[in-house]
Structure 1
């Protein structure tokens, strides 16, 4: 829609995790380094937490893409599964052939044989679970038992949990204290600072093909930070809407007023973060809707 207008190859602020847009902010780069060090050290459990929209899924995919050929990764994006179904999902990720209606014992043996086979080939196997705060307690215990599988030298399976802070409260339960004790590396992803958000916006624009000077004014970045709280996903939503509104007005730069209007049109932007910077922006949602409609009809 607005890509040709601004000389972009693609939309720069999509909310679908795309590793080509990964931004190595201090938080995300430290988290990635922690994951890589822990993976190469052969640790059993690794935990990454962060609030909604701070980039956990993108970090997970970047981590898996960064691992070398001596690693085999299994990825389960929705682990809200009872133990047996979770084991079936792991078996499927590891390409384990199972008979129909296989019992628990044979399924675990088949997974173990596959892990031993991969270890014999010099491969390290890592299971990444996104949205890990949703894992039932019984399934967490099943995962702990899986990490008991090991050779004389190392674990056969490493597990990385990516979850919201609720995961920490779940791990405090007495019934799974043994699992909590096995988490040797952990990191908490926080929001971007104001300066990091400025670099973040510029980075995504460059990846998308922007080659000009500043597309978002300093005022726009300031309001984007205040409206999003530095949360990358929310910043993406607001920046995308602001670009559409700027395009709808036929402008070549995104101003603070565009971000203000975008924030007023976005429920996730906290009202406490959005201030009445301009009287003309009082009907932000209406202005944005009109601007988008005009853009669509061009």
Structure 2
């Protein structure tokens, strides 16, 4: 985010943007301030559970929720009597901020808050003394409340011993009311085997859910209404909606985004804060962890690219077929049998279309190097599946093809070179038989197999692989991009030896 470097607070510690936006106080402070209490349906339910559990002396009350959803705000609102008219505040409140305490340390804190001095160091004697004190307070009509915030940080042993305090009771009521407030991890702790007895003693429990987007928008306007009569002069509606979307239902995140947006807006001297500023602030706050809903443009672009690639494949095959009239594309469909005694596949089997590449014999007049280089047919190389099918058909067609094509006679003047321990041989496209290394009397086609290269093919056909011969073959087969890397299935046009350029 790039905006003017300005001081966010003045010399008195008050945000400097207050005067610029005509605000009477800071509307989005991150501390739990009951004066800005906003009661969503979930917060009303939590507050109601706290009030009912304490006034009815139910003993244990458990409140859980994700980070920043307003658990502490609701708790403090109750303790300060905010949010409910006619609410009776508890007379004795013991607030545990740091829950990571041993049980003796917890008892020591309770005694300090009640202005008591332990008469003994034995745990059972301290508990008995606490019970006597709580009975005296109960007779006065007063209520003692123990609040444990961030209860997920309390040791399991301390939580297990905490149930001993729930045994401090009269015939009708519990002498001390205990409120346990924690994150969802605390719920998992209560479900453990070690805390099963404590879990059974929790009379009331509720979970505060994140705000909906609608509630988040109302939350922002509610806090603005406490400090200004013109909320529209502070944020545009689109900016408020964007903050609500980015806030993910957490009041703390909403406060941080809105406060940073006001600082950035003051830096830009922009009134009201618009959507663009909020977007910059959100990018700074979330970084790479932006909400997934804002990544949909990337997904659309990627989907379009995949669709375009799929549409290009049949178009490419069509173009290659038009540019290679000598190559026939034959479709072969296995017959489906429906009558008795038919050995073919049953009618319910899937019929698959397979493509075969078959080259026609070439009996063309001799061409010049320029003409042959420009007009040589280009046949697309078959896929691995087509290669396998082609090889399987070679054995079937060999017998019939050999009747019409006389076998090539070896030329004793030509020495067949070895490549990688094997003899390189030319292969007839139709029959699949080797040409036995002889120079072709008629134009020949070579089907490239895995491991072939242009030098090996030139040696097999012409008995030499000098640069001039390689260049000449490449001029007749312009689909060759790299003489050392030939695409498997590529069909090369190799003229007769009397046409070879010297």
Alignment pair present for 1:29 and 2:47: no
State how 1:189-208 maps to structure 2 within 5 Å.
Answer: 189-207=208-226
Gaps of 5+ in 2: 1-15, 82-86, 297-502
Secondary structure, counterpart of 2:207 in structure 1:
strand
- RMSD in angstroms over aligned alpha carbons? 2.0
Alignment pair present for 1:54 and 2:69: yes
> Which of 23, 26, 49 does residue 11 from structure 1 map onto?
26
Q: In 2 relative to 1, CA 167–213 (structure 1 residues): closer, same or farther, beyond 3 Å?
A: closer
State how 1:20-169 maps to structure 2 within 5 Å.
Answer: 20-66=35-81, 68-69=88-89, 71-98=91-118, 102-169=121-188
Corresponding residue number in structure 2 for 1:237: 256
Q: In 2 relative to 1, CA 5–274 (structure 1 residues): closer, same or farther, beyond 3 Å?
A: farther
How far has the Cα of 1:128 moved from its partner?
Answer: 0.9
Q: In 2 relative to 1, CA 178–137 (structure 1 residues): closer, same or farther, beyond 3 Å?
A: same
Alignment pair present for 1:263 and 2:289: no
2:221 and 2:231 in contact (8 A); partners too: no
Q: TM-score, normalised by structure 1?
A: 0.86
State how 1:175-214 maps to structure 2 within 5 Å.
Answer: 175-207=194-226, 209-214=227-232
Secondary structure, counterpart of 1:13 in structure 2:
coil
* Higher normalized contact order (CA 8 Å, seq sep 6+, divided by chain length): 1
Higher helix share: 1
2:90 and 2:145 in contact (8 A); partners too: no
Q: Distance in 1 between matches of 2:228 and 2:271?
A: 12
Alignment pair present for 1:171 and 2:171: no
Aligned pair count? 275
Q: Distance in 2 between matches of 1:24 and 1:221?
A: 19
Alignment pair present for 1:227 and 2:246: yes
Q: Distance in 2 between matches of 1:4 and 1:117?
A: 53
Q: TM-score, normalised by structure 2?
A: 0.52
Corresponding residue number in structure 1 for 2:456: none
Specify the structure having the higher radius of gyration (Cα).
Answer: 2
Q: In 2 relative to 1, CA 90–274 (structure 1 residues): closer, same or farther, beyond 3 Å?
A: farther
Q: In 2 relative to 1, CA 269–147 (structure 1 residues): closer, same or farther, beyond 3 Å?
A: farther
1:234 and 1:269 in contact (8 A); partners too: no
How far has the Cα of 1:130 moved from its partner?
Answer: 0.5
Q: In 2 relative to 1, CA 165–69 (structure 1 residues): closer, same or farther, beyond 3 Å?
A: closer
How far has the Cα of 1:273 moved from its partner?
Answer: 4.9
Q: Distance in 1 between matches of 2:177 and 2:64?
A: 17
Q: Distance in 1 between matches of 2:295 and 2:201?
A: 50
1:228 and 1:273 in contact (8 A); partners too: no
How far has the Cα of 1:268 moved from its partner?
Answer: 8.0
Q: Distance in 2 between matches of 1:269 and 1:148?
A: 51
Q: Distance in 1 between matches of 2:192 and 2:31?
A: 33
Q: In 2 relative to 1, CA 231–269 (structure 1 residues): closer, same or farther, beyond 3 Å?
A: farther
Q: Which moved more, 1:86-95 or 1:126-135?
A: 86-95
Gaps of 5+ in 1: 278-298
Secondary structure, counterpart of 1:47 in structure 2:
strand
2:224 and 2:231 in contact (8 A); partners too: no
Q: Distance in 2 between matches of 1:13 and 1:268?
A: 21
